[in-house]
Structure 1
Amino acid sequence: MSTADLRYRTRRSSDLSKHPAEVFAEAEDHPVTVTRRDGEDLVLMSQREADGRARLLNFAAQLITVTLDDEGSLGERMTKAFPWMLALSLSDRETCAQELVDAARASFATNQPHLAVAELTSWRETAAAIAAGLGHDDLEWLDLDDVQTVERP
């Protein structure tokens, strides 16, 4: 059994009618397959889980579009699908592109949409911060030898 298969639990439809709170609580943690004698099995999952899967499929569609283009580097092609990447430096665009592809592969291989979605969100927020002018100031680091302890009020 693969790791992806372990995320689904199976419950009978009678469990749903006899112990709904238990089945609903289980569905908040992971999708639950509800088996039925009189029809096709159903899957019960949280809206968060369904939204994550939808975002992953949308991301996959964008990645497929990028792979169909054969002009330029991966980072250059990705800026067409993700224009926010233009706020990143050239080297960061290449790093971002490769990390997004790697996260997508990991998400598909493990059936964990949040891996790709989190990576995409992280890079997009980084680009937004750079575009807003954040990160251009030199940081002033404290010298730990000069730190003085102050009494509590």
Structure 2
Amino acid sequence: MSITSEVQWSELARDPKSVAAIADQHEVRVKRRDGADLMLVRADHHAYRHSGAVTAARAMRSLFRHAGPDAVADALLDEFPWISVLPKSDRTLFVQEFVQAIQVSAELGQWSVLAQTMHEWANTAIVHADPELARALSTPITVTDGRIVPNPMDE
């Protein structure tokens, strides 16, 4: 667990050397009244954390590959119980995209990639949890003249 100190923006402006000394020891949250808080962290500590995330993501990818998508989906049920409403084929696809999103997020240092993947799959589970909605969204769409709109995934 990392230690984080908090300072006000005015303290950083008034005494930057003192705040830098704190940042030499651990992260500093710079509180602002007119915007989101900022995090001040030494670049070498950030790089060390980033390399640790990449290492963990690569290890997870290897574990998932050896365990297989079914075992991984079963293991992830503890944290994400909504996986249980996904059809088996979607569970496999979820596991593949989950592992890939972890890898991409770690490599880029942008965890929003994983967050977006989880958001999209949770919404997919919501659709599957409602049989009427799933049926409505999986039937062909017809236009007013009776023609069926082609599935864009078939092109």
SS in structure 2 opposite 1:94? helix
Deviation of the 1:37 alpha carbon:
4.9
Query: After the TM superposition, which parts of structure 1 deviate over 6 Å for at least 4 consecutive aligned residues?
Result: none
In structure 1, what is the equivalent of residue 12 of structure 2?
Answer: 16
Question: Relative to structure 1, is the Cα distance of residues 120 and 93 closer, same or farther in structure 2, using a 3 angstrom cutoff?
Answer: same
Residue segments in structure 1 that go unaligned for 5+ positions in a row: 1-12, 19-33, 50-56, 147-153
Aligned AA for 2:134? G
How is 1:3-152 mapped onto 2 (pairs within 5 angstroms)? Answer: 16-17=12-13, 36-41=19-24, 42-44=27-29, 46=36, 64=60, 67=63, 73-82=68-77, 83-133=81-131, 134-137=133-136, 138-142=139-143
Rounded to whole Å, the distance in 2 between the matches of 1:74 and 1:99 is 11
Question: Relative to structure 1, is the Cα distance of residues 120 and 136 closer, same or farther in structure 2, using a 3 angstrom cutoff?
Answer: same
Rounded to whole Å, the distance in 2 between the matches of 1:36 and 1:84 is 44
TM-score, L = length of structure 2 = 0.50
Rounded to whole Å, the distance in 1 between the matches of 2:119 and 2:102 is 13
In structure 2, what is the equivalent of residue 27 of structure 1?
Answer: none
Paired residues, number = 106
Question: Relative to structure 1, is the Cα distance of residues 38 and 80 closer, same or farther in structure 2, using a 3 angstrom cutoff?
Answer: closer
Residue segments in structure 2 that go unaligned for 5+ positions in a row: 1-8, 31-35, 40-52, 148-155
Report the identity percentage: 22
Preserved CA contact (<8 Å) 2:98 2:114 = yes
Deviates more, 1:123-132 or 1:110-119: 123-132
Deviates more, 1:131-140 or 1:100-109: 131-140
Aligned AA for 1:127? A
Over the residues paired in the alignment, what is the CA RMSD in angstroms? 4.0
Deviation of the 1:126 alpha carbon:
0.8
Larger relative CO (CA 8 A, sep 6+): 1 or 2? Answer: 1
TM-score, L = length of structure 1 = 0.51
